[in-house]
A = this chain, B = another copy of it.
Amino acid sequence: MSNPTAAMVVIGDEILSGRTRDSNMHFLAGALNEIGIRLREVRVVADEPDEIITAVNSMRQSYHSVFTSGGIGPTHDDITADAIAATFGVAIGVRADAATLLQAHYDRMGQPFNVARQRMARIPEGALLIDNPVSTAPGFTLGNVHVMAGVPTVFQAMVASVLPSLVGGEPLLSQNLRLLRGEGDIAADFGALALQFPELSMGSYPFQQNGQHGTNLVVRGTDATKINNAMAQLHTLFDSAHAPSNTF
């Protein structure tokens, strides 16, 4: 498929330590697929400059766009902006337009725009600001890398700010058939069907729910007619025989 591709870097000591469960990956995956951009890889790395630089450098060369989440706040552990500047080999400093936005925000709140908060106006040279309607402090885009906050509400707002600037493609459509049968029961027929539709991607995902075991068969692709045809064949193959099963 020739759809644009994307990757994500989660700057994530909090995720890797098990304290927080990431939700930004799931949000971004859904948002990108809706506009036909394929999220192809995600890396969760530690809050360390070398790790961030290595991951971003590798991914910005392999994918059309890269999204990062986390590490752009006012505290000492917020190192992402500096790491991105180092990745591109450009200077970084407090930028007037970002500082003006933040100054006005903290004036409205009756809070000081202190040295720590000025840190959030440090933007690598040549970047475009990403609008943050939730809490003002901007993200930024440098080359094909979009640098965004880790707080989910802010991350989501920044994704909404960035999406209109991206070139999308054909949305990835999918349909699902839920069977109360083990994967091993349907594997042969399902695999044979997948061979008949090389332009579709077919996956099977076992589940356990309320004491029942079963399998979700998922058909993905960009051609709605072909997906409908494949789903019709799946129904023919399996509808007459979805007796409950307790096996995988």
Check A205–B111 contact: CB distance below 8 A: no
With both beta carbons as reference points, the residue of chain B lying nearest to A71 in the complex is identified as B203
Contact with B along A24-53 (1 / 0, CB 8 A): 011001111100001111111111000100
What's the minimum C-beta distance from A164 to chain B, rounded to whole angstroms?
19
Whether A204 lies near B21 (C-beta < 8 A) is no
Q: Which residue of B lies closest to A195 (CB)?
A: B76
CB–CB A17/B172 < 8 A: yes
Within 8 A of B (CB), among A148-207: 150-151, 153, 172, 174, 182-188, 190-191, 194-195, 201-207
Interface residues of A in 218-234 (CB under 8 A from B): 218, 220
Separation of A106 and B32 alpha carbons in the complex (Å): 41
Chain B nearest CB from A62 CB (Å) reads 10
Chain B residues, CB < 8 A from A201 = 13
Q: Are B111 and A182 in contact (CB under 8 A)?
A: yes
Asked whether A46 lies within 8 Å of B42 as measured between CB atoms, the reply is: no
Least CB distance from A16 to B in Å reads 5
A21 with B17: in contact, given A204-B73, A206-B73, A207-B151 (CB under 8 Å)?
no
Nearest-neighbour CB distance to chain B for A80, whole angstroms, equals 13
CA distance A43 to B183 in the complex (A): 26
> Is A75 at the interface (CB under 8 A from chain B)?
yes
Residues from chain B with a CB closer than 8 A to the CB of A184 are 74, 106, 111, 114, 116-117, 120
Q: Which residue of B lies closest to A108 (CB)?
A: B247
Interface status of A77 (Cβ within 8 A of chain B): yes
Question: Which residues of A, 51-98, contact B by the 8 Å Cβ criterion?
Answer: 51, 73-77
Contact B191 A75 (CB under 8 A): yes
Report Cα–Cα, A6/B44, bound state, in Å: 13
Q: Within the complex, what minimum Cβ distance (angstroms) separates A27 from chain B? A: 8
CA distance A174 to B16 in the complex (A): 13
**Min C-beta distance of A57 to chain B, whole Å:** 14
Please, could you name 26 A-B residue pairs with CB atoms under 8 Å apart, sorted by A?
A14-B205, A15-B25, A15-B42, A16-B29, A16-B39, A16-B41, A17-B172, A18-B29, A18-B30, A18-B33, A19-B174, A19-B218, A21-B23, A22-B25, A22-B26, A25-B44, A41-B43, A41-B46, A75-B186, A77-B202, A77-B203, A106-B184, A114-B187, A114-B188, A116-B191, A151-B207
In the A-B complex, list the 8 residue pairs whose CB atoms are closest, starting with the nearest: A116-B187, A18-B30, A18-B29, A76-B191, A117-B184, A42-B44, A21-B26, A75-B204
